[in-house]
Amino acid sequence: MKFEIRDLNSQGQGVTVDADGKVCFVNGALPGEKVSAKLLQSKRNYSVYDMITALSPSPNRTKPACVHFGDCGGCDLQHLSYAAQLQYKTDLVRNAFLKIAKINLNDFDYRITASKSEFSYRNKLQMPYRKDKKGRNRLGMYRKNSHHFVPIDKCLIHNSVGEEILKWIADKAKLKAFNEKTGRGLLRNIQIRAVPGSKTFLLILVVTELTHAVQILAGKLFKQFPKLESIYANINSDRKNRIFSDSFHLLKGKKTIAGQHSGIDIEVGPSTFLQVNDAGASELYEYAIELAELSKDQSAADLYCGIGILSCRIAQKAKSCIGFELNNESIEAAKVIASNNQVDNIEFVASDVFEYFSLVGRSESTLFLDPPRKGCSPEIIEKLCSNKQYERLIYISCDPGTLARDLDLLCRGGEFHLHSVHSFDLFPQTTHVETVLRLDRAPSS
């Protein structure tokens, strides 16, 4: 089949229609291109194709830097120039806001901040350890929207030193690779994390049992790589797809590694959540702080606060801050971080975010929201709108669609109005984009 590509969807697929008016998604195609493609899947309302050849390539098309692009599921946009990637991401946000919230971002000074690095920006990489078609133990990734294992020699968006450690494991580990069909094997997955501000690493070996061979491998790695300061085993014998169990065992080195993020001293353990792009996340946090225009005579709340890095920065600028997070382990880490940084005008609560709104006697006028991809619940939106105490909202989102939905709900009744919007590219070569917006309470009539 031959198509002329009209657009690029949120999954990075070219979009067009066939002769019958049926929507077609074409993997690997770019807007403006004429392509030949082969059918992969035909559904009632749409079809999916793989591009064979770009008959008239887009001027924005570029040669992918990675030999695994198109096969591995890690990147979506390596065939698109970086300038065009930024334009694509701003268009995603603009279209979502216009379609869902009926807000035209041409009326705002809307921009995107590029990543400082187009490659080698990820501080963390997770890889399954499996046998390839020749029976060799390999590290790799899964093909997009599938469980098909693709052996990977090198990941270009990952930290280069971390790549050296992974390559050594792939070449020399010699542990029996896990077989998902039989449930047999020893080594399932590997996660390597660069600790921000420290130039050191934490490694997790996900194994079905803690054997002497695993202990020996940890010892060899610890000796081979001085920058590897912590090695953990995660014991996971479950046949399900969950990567980690709750069972972590320190094999070598420190329980946590000291680092720094956004000017805040932190401790990183095996289950600590951090954004994968350190420089980009720091820029985003500083922008959010500046956008809030905090002062020492006002208090703020950080809902969905994680380990409290942004919360501590808020407290440094405000009279006080309270952080809410459902995960108790994150809250305990947040308390340690606040103490280590001598931030004493802050408190943390391990609870569902909705419970914040049941507290009495609170004085927070500015709320920071950084919910998961699904956005805020209708109940939280209702509380934000109905309580006149909340004068300013700083909303951080990784999903333009749910952000636009919540923006529409917050502004629909006239309770809030949009002050400003800005996006950050924390994930070059992928379709993901982070967006920060500020909402101000509308004046009482």
Strands 257-261 and 264-268: antiparallel
Q: Residue 381 pLDDT more than 90?
A: yes
| Span 94-115+277-441 CATH architecture | 3-Layer(aba) Sandwich (3.40)
Average pLDDT over residues 300-315: 97
The yes-or-no answer to whether 94-115+277-441 and 124-268 have a common fold is no
| Phi-psi category of residue 151: left, alpha or beta, with phi > 0 → left and psi -120 to 50 → alpha | beta
Amino acid in position 302: D
Distances in whole angstroms, Cα of residue 425 to Cα of each of 116, 121, 130, 263? 9, 11, 32, 21
pLDDT tens, residue by residue, 43-53: 999 999 999 99
Q: Residue 241 pLDDT more than 90?
A: no
> Which residues have a catalytic role annotated?
398
| Phi-psi category of residue 170: left, alpha or beta, with phi > 0 → left and psi -120 to 50 → alpha | alpha
CATH label, 124-268, candidates 1.10.10.10, 3.40.50.620, 2.60.40.10, 2.40.50.1070: 2.40.50.1070
SS3 365: strand
Please list the alpha-helical segments (H only) found in 325-390. 328-340, 378-386
CATH label, 2-61, candidates 2.40.50.140, 3.20.10.10, 3.40.50.1980, 3.40.390.10: 2.40.50.140
Domains of the chain, by residue range, sit at 2-61, 94-115+277-441, 124-268
pLDDT score at 301: 97
Angle separating helix axes 160-172 and 212-224, nearest 10 degrees: 140
pLDDT score at 445: 59
Please give the mean pLDDT across all residues of the chain.
95
pLDDT tens, residue by residue, 84-94: 999 999 999 99
pTM above 0.85, yes or no: yes
The set of long-range contacts for 254-259, using a CB threshold of 8 Å and a minimum separation of 24, is 254/229, 254/230, 255/230, 256/230, 257/195, 257/198, 257/200, 257/202, 257/229, 257/230, 258/195, 258/198, 259/195, 259/196, 259/197, 259/198, 259/200
pLDDT tens, residue by residue, 48-79: 999 999 999 999 999 999 999 989 989 999 99
Q: CA 398 to CA 392: how far, in whole Å?
A: 20
pLDDT score at 145: 79
